[in-house]
Structures are given as structure tokens and as C-alpha cells.
Structure 1
Amino acid sequence: MLYLLIGATFSENIKKIFPKDTEQDIAEYAFDLTCTNCREAHGSPVLINSFEKHEMPGSRGEASFLLKCKFCAKDLSINLTRCEDALYNPDNELNEEYFGTLKDKRKKRGLKNIDTQKAAILEFDCRGCEITNFHQDSVTFLAELNSGKIMEFKFEKGENEWFDYDDDENEEVSVTEFYQEIVKGK
């Protein structure tokens, strides 16, 4: 299994951030792929969502994404599932209960060495390919503030920060130093 880890630095008024991804508002995650057979990279980002399922040719299974490698003609498939629900602010006292149960959940997935500054938001079962990069500008994120207010934001291409202002509380809201990585687990 592969996992998409995200991390960031929050302003202290943010409780957590998470992708806007529901059946009514489906997120299309953009990734770069490499074929594991011929090691050629697919030329452009591919879009995958967690709700769409396709019948796999010659199999009874389903996958979130299917592709035939244009270089070696091998069938590639990816099953995408949501993993942890959000990236929680580790400096926020409201999140202490969540972090208490997190270690056990991660241990079962082979992610026990991942610190609480990161969240494994997506899990990938890749067959014939591997994901090499996530394009964070492809997804809209939601920030839940300590007050319960939800603010929507999107990273610009090539940017890793977002700044806004909460008019209700008269304070700045920010997500900075956003980063992502693809890691192997169980």
C-alpha cells in the first residue's frame, strides 16, 4: 500500500484541515504515475476520485482508476480510499483525544514511525504502477476553526501556503509550509 501524507503549520485558531470530498462534492485528486513494468512516467497528471469505480478487464474486481501504459501496454490500476479524516493541529489542546488513538491506527497500516505532524489522508492499492507526486492545487481544502466555523481554500499552483481573515473572530487564519509525500506502508 502507498499512502499520501500531508503536513503543515497552522495558525493557532485552526483545529484541522481536510479535503472537501463528499458524494455531493467529489474531489478529483491529481497525481503523477510511473509504470512499474517499463519505469516510464505517464506524461501528464491523472485525476482519481474515491467514489468512482470501474470494472477491471479479466477480473471480478473494481478499481478507482484504470489505464493501459502507452509504452509497454501493461494494465495499470489504482484503488483509492480515504484514510485518516484530516490533518489535525498538533499544538491545539482540543485535539489531544484524537492523537491518543492515532498511534494504534497507524501501527496497523505500517505507519507507526509517522509523527503526529502529518496525516495519511489517502491510501492507494496500486497494481502495475506507482504514484510519484500529488498536485495539491487540484483539491479544495476545508479548515475547521476552533470556533467551529469552516473556511474553504485552495492552494495556488506552486504555492504551499494560504492566508485569510476570520471576520467573526477578527483574526488571521493561515496554513503555511504545506508539504506532501508518498510513503509505503503495509
Structure 2
Amino acid sequence: MVYVALFITAELEGLTNLQPRNGFDDPDHPYIFKLKCENCGEISKKPSCVSLSEQVPLPNGRGTVQMIQKCKLCDREGTVKIISGQGKPLTEFHGQNRQHVQLVIFDCHGLSPVEFSFGGQWKAESTKSKTTFEIDLSRGEFADYDEDGV
């Protein structure tokens, strides 16, 4: 059993509590990344997406995971399971001090997530007015103006 933790950091100017829109345990929030085969080192060409709502039964019948994927190069099968309840919001303090915050933990067997991409909707609060912003981070940036915080 190998646990892989995904940590994030960002420059948050006037924002705090960056997190998935419906919280860290939102069953539909997508985690998007490429996968590296732990047997041969091959990295998938296309990104994969997992969310808590996806449940795939293990072939041996001992539980479920979010993803089972076979390596295109060596044909080895690997699994990825999301361990819920592990995320923490990225606050303005973390951003100003360039600290990383744990977003999610994956239980991986035979595969490792690499090259994470932001998907889904995110939210953050204004530090001035507590206005909540809906954020799309798929382009890697977000900019807006808080009219209530002036």
C-alpha cells in the first residue's frame, strides 16, 4: 500500500480558504492527473480523472477503488483509491508564506499520479468582505474584483 499525498500552494491576494466548491469530500469533484506505471515507468499520454462517486469493484472482491487501469506498455494493472477526509483549505496565510497544504491522499497500487491538473469548480472567500468566489482553475489562474470589499 502506497499513499500519495497531493499538496497545493498558490498566491492568494485578498482571498482565503481555497478549496473544491462543495468541499473536499464532494463525491463529484474530479481529480485529474496522468498516471505513471510503477512497474515499467511509462506515463500515460492522456490524463485520467477520478472522483469519490466512482466505485469500481476489485477483481478479488475485497472492496472498491476509484480506478483500475492497465499499463499500455507492460499490461500490468494498477489501482487508485481516494482516501476521504484528508483535505484542508489553502488560506491567505499559507499563500503569503508559500506553504503547501494537503489537498487529497490517494492509496495507489502499481500506479502513481503525476502531472496534476485543476479540474472542477473551486471556491475561495474574500478576506475583506467574506464574499465567496466561484473559481475555475483549469487555466491555472484566477482574477476577479471584490466590489463589496472596497
What TM-score does the superposition give when structure 1 sets the normalisation length? 0.69
Instruction: Decide which of 133, 144, 147 is 1:164's aligned counterpart.
Output: 144
**Structure with greater strand share of residues:** 1
Equivalent residue of 2:148, what SS? coil
Deviations 1:127-153 (A, max 9, x none): 0011111012x2321012233321011
Task: Using the aligned pairs only, state the percent identity.
Answer: 25
Instruction: Decide which of 46, 49, 54 is 1:44's aligned counterpart.
Output: 46
AA in 1 matched with 2:105 = E
Instruction: Decide which of 123, 130, 144 is 2:112's aligned counterpart.
Output: 130
Deviation at 1:156, TM superposition (A): 4.2
CA distance in 2, matches of 1:56, 1:165: 47
Deviations 1:114-171 (A, max 9, x none): x8721111101110011111012x23210122333210111243x3x3110112223x
Which structure 1 residue ranges, 4+ long, deviate > 6 Å from structure 2? none
What TM-score does the superposition give when structure 2 sets the normalisation length? 0.83
**Structure with greater helix share of residues:** 1
2:99 paired with 1:117: yes
Gapped runs of 5+ residues in structure 2?
Answer: none
CA RMSD of aligned residues (A): 2.3
CA distance in 2, matches of 1:46, 1:79: 13
Gapped runs of 5+ residues in structure 1?
Answer: 93-114, 171-186
CA distance in 1, matches of 2:76, 2:22: 30
CA distance in 1, matches of 2:47, 2:94: 34
Q: Is the 8 A contact 2:17 2:90 kept in 1?
A: yes
Aligned residue pairs total: 144
